[in-house]
């Protein structure tokens, strides 16, 4: 199941973010020919366990646009740095989802 999560996350383009729930919904709706019953929490666990630098885990945020406090290396600071480098903007401490939410 983690493999399928990583496949979806790799599709999030630079300058966009997705929510954990969006990824779970895509898996539940069967984008790969099978419906996988997964929760947003499971998506978070998968991203936390990821060791492949080609999976842009930093592009996944919670439904409110908040960053992951347990993001690799320097937590939220590193995730925010990576998002800023891709042109993602924030409203206070949250990603501007109106502007940057991946809609496909």
Residues classed as catalytic: 57
Contacts for 91-100 with beta carbons within 8 Å, 24 or more apart? 91/65, 93/66, 93/67, 94/61, 94/64, 94/65, 94/66, 95/17, 95/61, 95/65, 95/66, 95/67, 96/65, 97/17, 97/61, 97/65, 100/15, 100/16, 100/17
């Amino acid at each position: 199941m983690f493999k399928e999560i990583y496949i979806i996350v790799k599709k999030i383009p630079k300058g966009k973010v997705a929510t954990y729930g969006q990824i779970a919904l895509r898996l539940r709706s069967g984008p790969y020919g099978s419906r996988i019953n997964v929760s947003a929490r499971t998506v978070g666990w998968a991203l936390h366990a990821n060791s492949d630098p080609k999976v842009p885990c930093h592009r996944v945020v919670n439904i409110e646009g908040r960053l992951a406090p347990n993001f690799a290396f320097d937590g939220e600071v590193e995730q925010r740095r990576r998002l800023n480098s891709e042109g993602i903007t924030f409203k206070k401490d949250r990603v501007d989802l109106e502007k940057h939410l991946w809609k496909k």
